[in-house]
């Protein structure tokens, strides 16, 4: 019986190879169906994950990070401070950025305040970050760190606030010294703008001086020619 069945299969294969019969791809169809099912399940799973992520973003559960194309320049944005002051602030920022990720998180701020001799409670530290945390990421970027000193210079910080204590104990005096002795934030800002234009003013003054000297030289040459012609 087994021999007859084997003989029939061999005869069938020979006929297919000689083109007498078309092969019936039942097994192949079955196999394709077996492969299609996992692929469809995988696609459904991926689509479901995307829809769930979209729903979380709409509900404010997930975080959506969109890269910023704007380049931050502290010297042009914070013109009320001198380059030295900004360098001092940057040095302090990097000193406490222990993870070297260009941010000061809550634990790093905690260490900073302890080093300054003004330890804060957990809630106090969160409130300090919240006051200048413009992008609401729960940590301080260098720009947000500079905002602390801008607010301190403008008198916008309560004297009993943690940020006011930080600015006062940081040894970066922006409220009394300001930019070359300016007494207030607005005076400091005007002074900074004037300083940035000082170089251009000096160039214009030099050019006017050269024009004046050239005009005097021209007048002396004309007077000499008149005197010379008088003796002819």
pLDDT (0 to 100) of residue 104: 97
HEC profile of the chain: CHHHHHHHHHHHHHHHHCCCCCCCCHHHHHHHHHHHHHHHHHHHHHHHHHHHHHHHHHCCCCCCCCCCCCCCCHHHHCCCCCHHHHHHHHHHHHHHCCCCCCCECHHHHHHHHHHCCCCCCHHHHHHHHHHHCCCCCCCECHHHHHHHHHHHHCCCCCCCCHHHHHHHHCCCCCCCCCCCCCCCHHHHHHHHHHHHHHHHHHHHHHHHHHHHHHHHHHHHHHHHHHHHHHCC
Residue 38 pLDDT greater than 90, yes or no: no
Q: What is the mean pLDDT of the chain?
A: 76
Residue 59 pLDDT greater than 70, yes or no: no
Q: Are 172 and 88 in contact (CB under 8 A)?
A: yes
pLDDT (0 to 100) of residue 228: 75
Beta bridge partners of 140: 104
pLDDT (0 to 100) of residue 60: 58
What sign does the dihedral 155-158-160-162 (CA atoms) show?
A: negative
pLDDT (0 to 100) of residue 177: 45
Which one is predicted more confidently, 115 or 180?
Answer: 115
Share of the chain above pLDDT 90, in %: 41
pLDDT (tens digit per residue) in 63-89: 555 545 568 899 999 999 999 999 999
Q: Are 79 and 185 in contact (CB under 8 A)?
A: no
pLDDT (0 to 100) of residue 27: 47
pLDDT (tens digit per residue) in 117-172: 999 999 999 999 999 999 999 999 999 999 999 999 999 999 889 999 999 998 78
Helix axes 142-153, 83-96, angle to 10 degrees: 130
pLDDT (tens digit per residue) in 188-211: 555 555 665 655 666 777 888 888
pLDDT (0 to 100) of residue 97: 96
pLDDT band at 57 (very low <50, low <70, confident <90, very high): low
- Could you tell me which residues come within 8 angstroms of residue 15 by beta carbon, excluding any fewer than 6 positions away? 21
pLDDT (0 to 100) of residue 43: 57
Which one is predicted more confidently, 3 or 172?
Answer: 172
pLDDT (0 to 100) of residue 71: 83
């Amino acid at each position: 019986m087994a021999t007859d069945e084997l003989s029939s299969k061999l005869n069938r294969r020979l006929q297919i190879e000689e083109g007498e019969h078309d092969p019936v791809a039942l097994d192949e169809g079955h196999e394709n169906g077996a492969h299609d099912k996992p692929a469809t399940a995988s696609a459904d799973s991926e689509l479901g994950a995307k829809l769930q992520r979209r729903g979380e973003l709409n509900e404010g559960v997930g975080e959506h990070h969109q890269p910023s194309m704007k380049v931050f320049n502290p010297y042009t944005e914070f013109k009320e401070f001198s380059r030295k002051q900004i360098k001092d602030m940057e040095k302090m920022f990097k000193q406490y950025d222990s993870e070297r990720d260009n941010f000061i998180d809550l634990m790093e701020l905690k260490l900073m305040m302890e080093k300054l001799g003004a330890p804060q409670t957990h809630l106090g530290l969160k409130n300090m970050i919240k006051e200048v945390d413009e992008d609401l990421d729960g940590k301080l970027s260098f720009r947000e760190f500079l905002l602390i000193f801008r607010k301190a210079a403008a008198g916008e910080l309560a004297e009993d606030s943690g940020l006011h204590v930080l600015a006062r104990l940081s040894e970066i005096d922006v409220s009394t010294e300001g930019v070359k002795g300016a007494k207030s934030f607005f005076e400091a800002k005007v002074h900074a703008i004037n300083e940035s234009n000082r170089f251009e003013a000096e160039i214009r003054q030099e050019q006017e001086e050269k024009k004046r000297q050239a005009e005097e030289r021209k007048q002396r040459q004309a007077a000499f020619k008149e005197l010379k012609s008088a003796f002819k």
